[in-house]
Structure 1
Amino acid sequence: MFQIGDHVVYPMHGAGIIKAIEEKEIAGERKQYFVIKMSINNMDVMIPADKISSTNIRPVTDLTALKQIIHIFQHGESEQLLPWKERYKMNADKMKTGHIQEGAEVVRDLMRIKKEKALNPSEKKMLDDAREFLNSELGLIEGITENHIKSFS
């Protein structure tokens, strides 16, 4: 279970810090809630403690795993031959997992396509969202350097 001060990633919302564990009464029912301060939009999210495992919240990636992700980001293969609608669905599914590697692959693949041709508005927004999601986690990784962050540019 998570503790106050833990750095976590909430799929589709980005990274944040657990700032409190509070007990609240909502609709006549008392429950314990994790309060997470999200990096994106500087908002607070409250998640019932009994639902935390079903939300796929995970700890922020560590520096060792990040180095492997950087390698995949820079040298991994892209699936660029798919029609854009199939590619969009595949990328949306990757983003829903909340895994940093999946998000990095979305950024990598869309950036590669963008170098060759203009992205349609849906994919442009997905690229922006994926970058924001990735950056929210990168900002909370212990020991990260500016060079690590530049690896995703």
Structure 2
Amino acid sequence: MAIKKPTSAAAKKAASKKTTKKPAKLIFKSGQYIVYPAHGVGQVTGIEHETIAECEIELYVILFEQDKMTLRVPTSKAANSGMRALANDNVLKDAFTTIKGRARIKRTMWSRRAQEYEGKINSGDLLLLAEVVRDLHRTDEQPEQSYSERQLYENALDRMVREVAAIQGIDRGPAMDQILETLSTARAKAAAKAAAKAAEEAENEDENGEEAAA
């Protein structure tokens, strides 16, 4: 009995069902600044093609100038790696609002908090970086940081400075000044508010004491 072969159209249809869809690719251009979670701001210097096991792979070539390091990331895996474009103006504004806020220090062991800070620093999220900068920043009047605290603070601050500089198209110096000035101004306002509240409470206590004596 003869076996009927499928028509070419049917064969193509059957083959198309077996074809797996390729993951969506992020489109970054050569010369564009990006953020890679584990390393911070880098610049795409080109796109290369390599053949491995008879498969052609497209790669983003990323330069992290400050670290003197070049990273190659498959374009098909860029999304899963967390690689992203620079934050937009709204996110940048939210980041500066974050560092103006009150430090939130959890009452847990330092080792656990340090792990959380490390996770935020390597998340690639500008707002989480801002939280670390806010929580670990110290004024001259506050107790000195431990070595590990200082290292985490400087790492977070450096990552934030580099992205702010890249977003605004300015050098790292002015970007650093913006962030430190924002932190200092916010801390000064908070200290003045706390002092005024303490003075008001002391005055109320004195008045209550005088009334009781009378």
When normalised by structure 1's length, the TM-score is: 0.84
Q: What do the CA deviations read for 1:1-53 (whole angstroms, capped 9, x no partner)?
A: 22222221001201011110101235765311101111431322111112111
* 1:42 aligned partner: 68
CA–CA separation in structure 2 for the residues paired with 1:117 and 1:78: 16
CA contact (8 A) 1:4 1:18 kept: yes
* 1:131 aligned partner: 157
Structure 2 unmatched ranges of 5 or more: 1-25, 181-214
Q: Which has the higher contact order (CA 8 A, sep 6+)?
A: 1
CA–CA separation in structure 1 for the residues paired with 2:103 and 2:95: 13
CA–CA separation in structure 2 for the residues paired with 1:66 and 1:122: 27
Alignment of 1:137-148 (within 5 A): 137-142=163-168
CA–CA separation in structure 1 for the residues paired with 2:61 and 2:175: 29
CA contact (8 A) 1:36 1:45 kept: yes
Tell me: CA distance 1:114–1:121, structure 2 relative to 1, closer, same or farther (3 Å): farther
Q: Aligned to 1:8, what secondary structure does the other structure show?
A: strand
* 2:33 aligned partner: 7
CA contact (8 A) 1:15 1:39 kept: no
1:86 to 112, 123, 133: 112
Tell me: CA distance 1:27–1:101, structure 2 relative to 1, closer, same or farther (3 Å): same
2:128 to 102, 108, 118: 102
CA–CA separation in structure 1 for the residues paired with 2:49 and 2:116: 38
Give the counterpart letter for 1:18 in structure 2.
V
1:85 to partner: Cα distance:
1.7
CA–CA separation in structure 2 for the residues paired with 1:122 and 1:72: 23
1:60 aligns to 2:86 (yes or no)? yes
CA–CA separation in structure 2 for the residues paired with 1:122 and 1:115: 20
* 2:178 aligned partner: 151
Answer 1 or 2: which has greater strand percent: 1
- Percent of aligned positions that are identical: 25
When normalised by structure 2's length, the TM-score is: 0.62
Structure 1 unmatched ranges of 5 or more: none
CA–CA separation in structure 1 for the residues paired with 2:176 and 2:132: 16
Equivalenced residues, count: 153
Answer 1 or 2: which has greater helix percent: 2
